[in-house]
């Protein structure tokens, strides 16, 4: 039986998997094609405080800001969801990756950078070791070993500007098909003096850069572009929808994180769901090596905890991405009229819609 693990991809999911495995005493090597995994930065880092607590990381050194809520712009309507205390942190993604790598190496995992794993090397690793594909949305491991496809992809483009936003504790989301068809645009105070602007579009609408140029002209955004100094910009991809399965127990291959599609379809946030995937994958691999238990236990445990949340995120995603501007405005008006702004400010949960729904009904019963 195979007794060591090769992880392809040194993003957060791969490194959390490696750290956990090393802590459990399993020999683990992580490979990444990049010289500096995580660089250049092509994704934001808004993470719920409760979700971060589940990952077991010393993330505080990567924190750049604290968020208390979100403002949703839906046509002419604005929905303000503000909590009484901080609900999320913004993390520097490169710093987070560095911290994850340090923690994995300190635990005893080996990290090999500058090494693309595909073709012959992939077959060689898979025949000698348990293989974990943590190689992101466009996963070579998933393609090479014939895993089912991801449902759809969102193409993103984001840029950071040296610009102080008037409100540094709220992220703003813009639902408007004229610059972000099938997703949304955002302005985020990455820190007190740095603003990030970005958009996502359903891949069927093509090039995210072209849509981003339209977003730059939007009233709230143009001032940032005009007065701020551009720090960094670039495109990336978000998977929408889980793979139908993400464990091949016969060949002892597991996918985690974006490679498995463990991403919230509403926002594209994947670090918490993928990080928990990493946690469960490591536990299942350890039990497999020690006691011969099935690697499927990983997929079962992850689905038990997150499948319901993924379904709800998918429902809300298909609602906002399919409705036109006018209908969305009607929904926004109804949401406000039902007093949902203050309810969500008090009882919202960015990761777990099922908890919010439960709280909504409990509140109704308590009245």
Ligand X SMILES: Cc1cc2nc3c(=O)[nH]c(=O)nc-3n(C[C@H](O)[C@H](O)[C@H](O)COP(=O)(O)OP(=O)(O)OC[C@H]3O[C@@H](n4cnc5c(N)ncnc54)[C@H](O)[C@@H]3O)c2cc1C
Rounded CA-CA distance 239/263 in Å is 7
Told to check if 87 binds ligand X by CB under 6 A, we report: no
Interface positions, 9-38, toward ligand X (CB under 6 A): 9-14, 31-34, 37
Asked if residue 268 binds ligand X (CB under 6 A), the reply is yes
- State which residue, 274 or 353, has the beta carbon closest to ligand X: 274
| CB 67, min distance to ligand X, A | 10
Which 3 state secondary structure label does DSSP give 78?
Answer: strand
Q: Does 62 bind ligand X (CB under 6 A)?
A: no
**Residue 57 engages ligand X in binding (rule: CB under 6 A):** no
> How many other C-beta atoms are found inside a 10 Å radius of the C-beta of residue 367?
4
Binding mask 323-362 for ligand X (x = CB under 6 A): ----------------------------------------
- Whole-angstrom CA distances from 307 to 206, 261, 277, 285, 301 are 29, 12, 12, 21, 10
Phi, psi of 324 (to 5 degrees): -75, 175
Give how far Cα 1 sits from Cα of 140, 211, 289, 292, Å: 25, 51, 8, 9
Residues 206-225 that bind ligand X (CB under 6 A): none
Nearer Cβ to ligand X, position 72 or 238?
238
H, E, C per residue of 142-161: HHHCCCCCCCEEEEEEEEEE
How many whole angstroms separate alpha carbon 345 and alpha carbon 67? 12
CB nearer ligand X, residue 34 or residue 336: 34
Per CB under 6 A, 8 contacts ligand X = yes
266 secondary structure, DSSP code: T
**Structural element, H or E, at residue 235:** strand 229-240
295 binds ligand X (CB under 6 A): no
Residue 129 binds to ligand X (criterion: CB under 6 A): no
- Residue 351 CB, shortest distance to ligand X, in Å, is 9
SS3 122: helix
Bond preceding residue 40 cis, omega within 30 of 0: yes
Shortest Cβ 162–ligand X spacing (Å):
19
Which of 5, 19, 26, 45 binds ligand X (CB under 6 A)? It is 45
270 scored as a contact of ligand X (CB under 6 A): yes
Of 32 and 299, nearer to ligand X (C-beta) is 32
Give residues in contact with ligand X (CB under 6 A): 8-14, 31-34, 37, 42-47, 116-118, 134-136, 140, 156, 158, 198, 236, 238, 257-259, 263, 268-272, 274
């Amino acid at each position: 039986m195979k007794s060591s693990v090769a992880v392809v991809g040194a993003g957060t999911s791969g490194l959390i998997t490696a750290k956990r495995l090393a802590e459990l005493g399993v020999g683990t090597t992580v490979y990444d094609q990049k010289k500096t995994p995580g660089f250049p930065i092509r994704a934001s880092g808004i993470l719920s405080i409760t979700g971060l607590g589940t990952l077991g990381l010393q993330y505080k050194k990567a924190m750049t800001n604290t968020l208390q809520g979100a403002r949703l712009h839906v046509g002419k309507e604005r929905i303000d969801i503000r909590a009484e205390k901080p609900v999320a942190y913004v993390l520097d993604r490169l710093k987070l990756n560095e911290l994850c790598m340090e923690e994995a190496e300190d635990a005893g995992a080996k990290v090999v950078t500058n090494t693309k794993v595909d073709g012959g090397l992939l077959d060689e690793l898979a025949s000698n070791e348990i293989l974990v594909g943590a190689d992101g949305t466009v996963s070579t491991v998933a393609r090479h070993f014939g895993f089912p496809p991801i449902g759809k992809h969102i193409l993103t483009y984001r840029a950071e500007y040296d610009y102080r936003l008037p409100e540094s504790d709220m992220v703003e989301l813009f639902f408007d098909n004229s610059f972000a068809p099938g997703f949304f645009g955002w302005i985020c105070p990455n820190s007190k003096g740095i603003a990030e602007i970005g958009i996502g579009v359903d891949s069927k609408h093509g090039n995210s850069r072209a849509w981003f140029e339209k977003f730059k002209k939007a009233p709230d955004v143009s001032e940032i572009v005009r007065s701020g100094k551009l720090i960094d910009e670039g495109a990336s991809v978000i998977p929408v929808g889980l793979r139908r399965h993400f464990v091949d127990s016969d060949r002892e291959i597991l996918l985690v994180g974006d490679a498995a599609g463990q991403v919230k379809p509403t926002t594209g946030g994947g670090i918490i769901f993928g990080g928990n995937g990493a946690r469960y994958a490591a536990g299942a691999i350890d039990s497999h090596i020690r006691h011969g238990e099935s690697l499927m236990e990983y997929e079962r445990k992850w689905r038990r905890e997150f499948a319901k949340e993924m379904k709800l995120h998918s429902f809300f995603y298909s609602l906002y991405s399919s409705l036109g501007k006018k209908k969305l405005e009607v929904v926004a008006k109804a949401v406000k009229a039902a007093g949902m702004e203050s309810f969500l400010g008090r009882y919202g949960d960015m990761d777990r819609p099922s908890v919010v729904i439960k709280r909504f009904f409990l509140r109704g019963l308590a009245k």
